Structure 1
Amino acid sequence: MTTMAPESDIRRQELAGFLRSRRERITPEQVGLVRGRRRRTPGLRREEVAQLSAVGVTWYTWLEQARDIQVSPQVLDALARALLLDRSERSHLFALSGATDPAPGTECPSVTPALRTLLEQLEPIPACVQNSRYDILAYNRTYGRLLCDLDALPPEDRNCMILAFTDADWRASVVDLPEVNRTMAAKFRASMAGHLAEPAWKALLKRLETESAEFREVWERHEVVNQGGRTKYIRNAEVGLLHVEHTNLWLGPGSGPRLVSYPPADAVTRERLERLWSLAAAEPPSYGTMGE
């Protein structure tokens, strides 16, 4: 006879693993700490997370050991900030802890005011910030008009996977759609390997399988591809065909958020991107963010 572990034990184990994985992905430099020569721990040390969160080292260690201890919403809020959790990760932290988030609208800490300024200054080059789940966390005005009208979409639909497989305007803008979507699904599968138990990832996968027969077909191939840049053609509805270089600039570890930009690959595309930016600039700026 198999004995099932109590739900509370499973939650604590999930919480412990989640905290460890988030701690290990953050470099000391990202939170203003000095790396030092003898560092062997990937990411932050437990005592560094405790220091940043203003909690006891022993207490935080018990959390990562799945001890049966109570955690207040205020402490969870401090941990979420110290670990640079995005909105979905923050929600996951509170769900695992069985607590109510006192600030559910907290912005993703990876989208800083300086990063917003960078997005603006990159124009007319389209650029956005995405996480590894392809959520579009923030974008400039040119990117907001590149493949579809992002401002017209609810925040929960601003996800490249959802748009690539379900949004008519986005799909009409992608040249060689079947091959591009097949590659995207392969990249998504590779990214998901480290997040198989996380509710936000499972919910996104379920939605894709429910809403797109095309996605179900390519997902069954079990193909995987690492993230990387490439030359792309985009058929913009307002300015015509664009030839761009897809580039990724990681804002942390490879599994974290990244700045995605589309510099022009030729003079014609540059002129057309400038025209697209002029059209977008004629409207009030949004510099959109998840949850706005």
Structure 2
Amino acid sequence: MALADHLRELRNRVVKSVLVIVVFTIVALVYHKKLEHFLLQPLPQCNDANSGDYHGRCAQVSNIGLTAGFNWMLKVALTAGVVAAVPVWLYQVWAFVAPGLHKHERKYTVIFVICGAPLFLAGAACAFLVMPTTVEVLISFTPSETVPILPPEDYFDIATRMVLVFGLAFEFPLLLVMLNLVGIVSGKRLLGWWRGMVMAITVFAAFATPSADPVSMLVLAAPIWALYFIAVAIALFNDRRRARRNPDLALDDEEASQLDLSVQPVAGVESVEASGTPLAGAPVPAARHEQMDDIT
């Protein structure tokens, strides 16, 4: 396609994704009270009986500003809409890339959508599990003689960011597998990157988690480490399967493939009869039926 066609295709995919997200966001607005209560559960509030579980530290949740409640209601609903529409916008992303792939590579669309949605949801669940530890560490920075006053908007900013970051981070191993399936990167090369990958994932987890404690960082980094090595194992298995079908895939880009130089015996020569009428003035052959070699 031309560049303008690619831009139209991108626009159509984005519009479809946005429309589905808007629909789920509207549904989430209807149940926003339950969603807000669900997200506030990891937060130790001073009027909560379980606040002693955080070593006596708690936060006073106060709504500051007239429009603050409306703002964080929209933010919570929009985050819920993005999470609920994961299968749709993941499919739209892959459908935009699929026309540039070969026919046998497009069959991986179903695998991408089926595996991508659970991985994103698993990352969101992991973010919710690590929220209590994150909140505890952040509250511990306040002086012991004071009670932190926490606007819900600030808390929901952290919660929604962690849900989205954790969900997208869990998609990284799936991206590596898809790159291997379409032949862009080999499993051997992915395995050779393991030291840099482990370091990069650790640094990413340190910046992605809002708290500075190592527990939150490891909760995000450890699953991505495991998923990365699972992706490497899948890539190596796929490369071995390809090598059985085509031995030349293991060759280097500058290495020539093996040529079959063996000489095969030639079958017996088959003769054919000459046909056609001689031209005027041309000498007539001595024999009426002239034999001619088939190679001629």
Scaled by the length of structure 1, what TM-score is found?
Answer: 0.25
Richer in helix (by share): 2
Richer in strand (by share): 1
Which entry has the higher C-alpha Rg, 1 or 2? 2
Scaled by the length of structure 2, what TM-score is found?
Answer: 0.25
